[in-house]
Structure 1
Amino acid sequence: MSTRYTVSQIARRTGLTVRALHHYEAAGLLRPAARSDAGYRLYGEAELLRLQHIVSLKALGFTLADIRACIDADAPSLANALARQIDRLRQAVVRQQELLGRLERVAHQLATGATIDAETLLNGIEATTIMEKHFSKEQLQAIKARGDALGTERIREVERAWPEVIAGMQAALALGKDPASAEVRALARRWRGLVREFTGGDPGIERSLGTLYRAEPRAMQERTGIDPALMAYACNAIALLGEG
């Protein structure tokens, strides 16, 4: 008989919450294979495979109703779901590069005293409004100082590194890999390192960054390709690293 897992065991291994797993059951997406003598829900390999598909499709922005329709119709395979996620991440990188270009043009025009047209100003406002909502004036000054200290070349190196780390963490999540595994721990160290390039290790800025992702999930997903499920999984993996 294959190994079966309780809800709490699955939550602990995957980074998903018990509440989310119960919600999937209530939505008709995931049902236990059996119950223990004590009445606990038990899930086997078939249910874990189904959960893997649920998580992958949810990461792509599918609604629960759409996910149910896809799974029941046996539509997209996991490979196809991952391919679509990779494409979405590439699109997010393009959007980030566009926003970076807008800000660089504004900065250059300000530095040279050139007239800035309304469209350029609106684009710059779009890129900075969210930051001003969630970071204090002092934190924004610290972030700017951090950027000045890093320099343009290092900032671009960090930006180029993010898509690979995000894609790796997304693949690990989709495949249901244990956040405590060596592979995910390596990704978590890189993720934490890239975040600290931005925050300088400042706990207050890191808390504000977390608040930003929780308060603006849709906007941040569009800009970075990181959805709430992926953020929760990455945070869980980083927490398992401990201090360092």
Structure 2
Amino acid sequence: MKYQVKQVADIAGVSIRTLHHYDDIQLLKPSALTDAGYRLYSDADLERLQQILFFREIGFRLDDIKEMLDHPNFDRKAALQSQKDMLMKKKQRMEEMIQTVDRTLQSIEGGEHMDKRDLFAGLSMKDIEEHQQTYADEVRKLYGREIAEETEKRTSAYSADDWRAIMAEFDSIYRQIAARMVHGPNDAEVQSAVGAFRDHICQYHYDCTLDIFRGLGEVYITDERFTNAINQYGEGLAAFLREAIIIYCDQQEKPRL
């Protein structure tokens, strides 16, 4: 069955302008054109649009989405499962935020006291604390108590806004690497993102030497907590990131000519 652009816009809940843009950047090309030049979309085109919208909701960039969907090894079923996992986490957080809004409204309307902790339910404060603890555990495992204490002292000075910005940058780097997995750990953009990852650690957490960075990669595959956390961004990302870190460190240690 073929669908005209307005029909696709109505079915998918997107604007005609968006569909035209996707066509212009070759993200979603209609499978056919009428004699008059009007776009005609197939069922396969609609399935691709569904993937595009899922990836957009999760936060991927359009150029990364195009590369993933166009790769010969793209697995739609695996992608859907990964998208479901991430959307479920997002759903849980949104439900917590809605409950917080409802409780706050009830408190305002009824004049009832609201526990201060409840004011922030679902607002990522727990994520911030867990992120901070993760780095403390990571440093402690790699280098011992003394350096861990220095790291904790440094990160404890960050405000909630600081942590949100740090986490957003951290999240963006992981997503960039996950989006390029199909190209292999030696991919130039993967290596650039790995370098940005190391710079991020040095700037916000601790002096990440090449030896420390290598050790970090090993922790990501030997400690189940880190493996599971990283693999939330993409199945097998922890092992992939380790390989990418090894390649990065080897390149950095080569003599400069």
Structure of greater relative contact order (alpha carbons < 8 Å, 6+ residues apart)? 1
Q: Whose radius of gyration is greater, 1 or 2?
A: 2
User: TM-score, normalized by length of structure 2?
Assistant: 0.42
